[in-house]
Structure 1
């Protein structure tokens, strides 16, 4: 047996059993967060929830060694809360408290534990149970008397909007940390080792209006030009390389019998590697309309770079896999199409692992739920990774 696996076995009660014995209390924390509604665009609700989260952290873990609330006038604040431990450098635990669900959703869809062994409620899977998992992992290590590194929580309220406020803070903090663990939902028991880069772009075409019957040659249709451009750019998708291009919305024109003066479309691009992002950038830069009277404007950005399983992240995954085998079963490094704050850390060349939060399904959907019986094991997994990181640093 690997002697390091004894770390979990040495406690009087295995960590997952300790959590299972307190499952009702743990679920109470999940319920509390679910009922603090946090739509990404409702600043008042986000601020109220942030107040509750800080009070909850103090109640569960005591007064932190350092607390910084990065306030923003429009978006949810970033809570940066550090607890001292056995290491000088902390481990960074990242999670978001904002959700896609509008205010009032919880009134008709409250937190509930169902007979099939799942718990449901808006944001429970993505990702409020993940926040509870991280906090209870630290609590479990303290109760078990196991080695624990310093831990820095970064809980942000703008992730569903692309993390415009929190991204620079995460990129600032990560290099000074032993590793970054992101508490987004897992995939079954497995974790997310790779994520696609995400690009959000708007293409606007501006033409010349004219009467479609009396002066068809005098106009230059922005809609016709945009249709041609959409056909061109969607052909650049390459699923074998992990590149998808989706035109999600389109609009323009003023009336049936008017040659359209303007048209727009909103495009979602996903890439598996930076080279593909560069290729798509070049495609957008060269876009022109066949009719020279139509102007083409491309706006947007890559909101998240691709997350790859780099050598340093692979070593972190192997450490997590070793822990997972002693808790429940070995892990698979899953690659997914969605982006998260883990993408930012990976792009810096730093060790990061994602999907350490809840097991379940239904992110952003009405069937959103978590598997209750898996929560204690998830807490034990994160706790086990932390206690290992207190002893060794991934190279």
Structure 2
């Protein structure tokens, strides 16, 4: 068995992994603070350079810093994908200091997903030859990847696999299915009138909104696990005026491309109910679904490798949230998600990582990389 594959599983590696995670978590990086994201990018670059022996390219789009390491002269075979921005505002460390107690690491963004970034660096560094690997760490995933989506899709194009270092699901399960996401804005145009003197001259945007809320919610399909949720809403100006305008936000989640198309067609076919009302629909699908068939072969490979490494049997699950893995599978690249840390509490006061799981998970990632880079017909290196 090749000990380079098991490098990150040895007890000697864990202190370095922990030190790197704590350093990265200690640099706060909320997505909406470009200066903070830039500081975080510098820390990621410093840690990655020390581990990987190479300085990353720093790619800036609209002020957002992304980092890319490409190894070897040839085309990329495997894309390692993660993000260094978080949902936590500056100052969160005061109430949630970084530290380890009783084998549990805590700190804002440790689970989602700074521990996964460190795992990716150590796994790639453990490869005898990382040629064919690209490590891409973006700075706006928590904001929906508005500046990095095109970069992600370009890097994933033509790859054998994309491995996403998002945090695991409960119990360490890999995320082999993610729902696709569509977001819409329903804009209502009514007509104002005095609510007491002549309300009949108005077209009430509130009432039209009520009709549209019911129509939108009726598009959900529990049998298909399709959710269509009216969320933020606004209308009206004063308490004695028939509202002339209204707006409704809609969040929709689907398991399949077919269902995403069905839902998009239905929402765009909505029509006003009240005479004289106007209706405009904006938005649409923004994350294609990560369907189970797109990750099945990679999960089976990872499960076999986990058994060879003596790790607990891998499990998998479907989740409703989207990640950058939705983009990679959307262009046809097989994708395995949830390969990051084992823990819980993402985006909450209880965010945490189980320290004891870090070596084995990093070793699994190293083994999976090695296996994916193995020439056809070559023997397993472990």
**TM-score class, shorter:** over 0.9
**What residue in structure 2 maps to residue 92 of structure 1?**
79
Counterpart residue number, 1:121: 107
Q: Could you say which residue in structure 1 is the equivalent of 2:3? A: 11
In the alignment, the residues of structure 1 paired with residue 133 and residue 126 of structure 2 have an alpha-carbon distance, to the nearest angstrom, of 13
Q: Which residue of 1 aligns with 2:292?
A: 309
Instruction: Report how far residue 141 of structure 1 moved.
Output: 3.4
Is residue 254 of structure 2 the alignment partner of residue 239 of structure 1?
no
Partner of 1:374: 357
Mapped to 1, the partners of 2:274 and 2:148 lie a distance apart of: 43
2:17 is the counterpart of 1:26: yes
User: How big is the alpha-carbon RMSD for the aligned residues of Structure 1 and Structure 2?
Assistant: 2.0
TM-score by length of 1: 0.90
What are the Cα deviations for residues 4-26 of structure 1, in whole angstroms up to 9, with x where unaligned? xxxxx3428944542x3232221
Pair 1:272 & 2:255 matched: yes
Question: What are the residue-to-residue correspondences of 1:166-181 with 2, within 5 Å?
Answer: 166-181=148-163
Taking a change above 3 Å as real, the CA distance of residues 242 and 149 of structure 1, as seen in their structure-2 partners, is farther
- In the alignment, does 2:170 pair up with 1:184? no
Q: 1:234-279 CA deviation, whole Å, 9 max, x = no partner?
A: 0111122121011221121112221111111221110101111111
SS at match of 2:200: coil
Quick check: 1:198–1:303 contact (8 Å CA) kept in 2? yes
In the superposition, the TM-score normalised over structure 2's length comes to 0.93
Give the 5 Å matches for 1:200-349: 200-310=183-293, 313-327=295-309, 328-349=311-332
- Residues 74-93 of structure 1: matches in 2 within 5 Å? 74=63, 76-84=64-72, 89-93=76-80
- Report the 3-state secondary structure (helix = DSSP H, G, I; strand = E; otherwise coil) of the residue aligned with 2:357: helix
Cα deviation for residue 148 of structure 1 reads 4.5
Instruction: Tell me what 1:356 maps to.
Output: 339
Contact kept in structure 2, 1:125 and 1:185, CA below 8 Å? yes
Gaps of 5+ in 1: 1-8
Q: CA deviation at 1:283?
A: 1.7
Once the two structures are TM-superposed, the CA of residue 393 in structure 1 deviates from its matched residue by 6.2
Structure 2 runs not aligned, ≥5 long: 378-382
- The reply on whether 1:139 has 2:125 as its aligned counterpart is yes
Deviation at 1:52, TM superposition (A): 1.6
Native 8 Å contact 2:5 2:366 kept in 1:
no
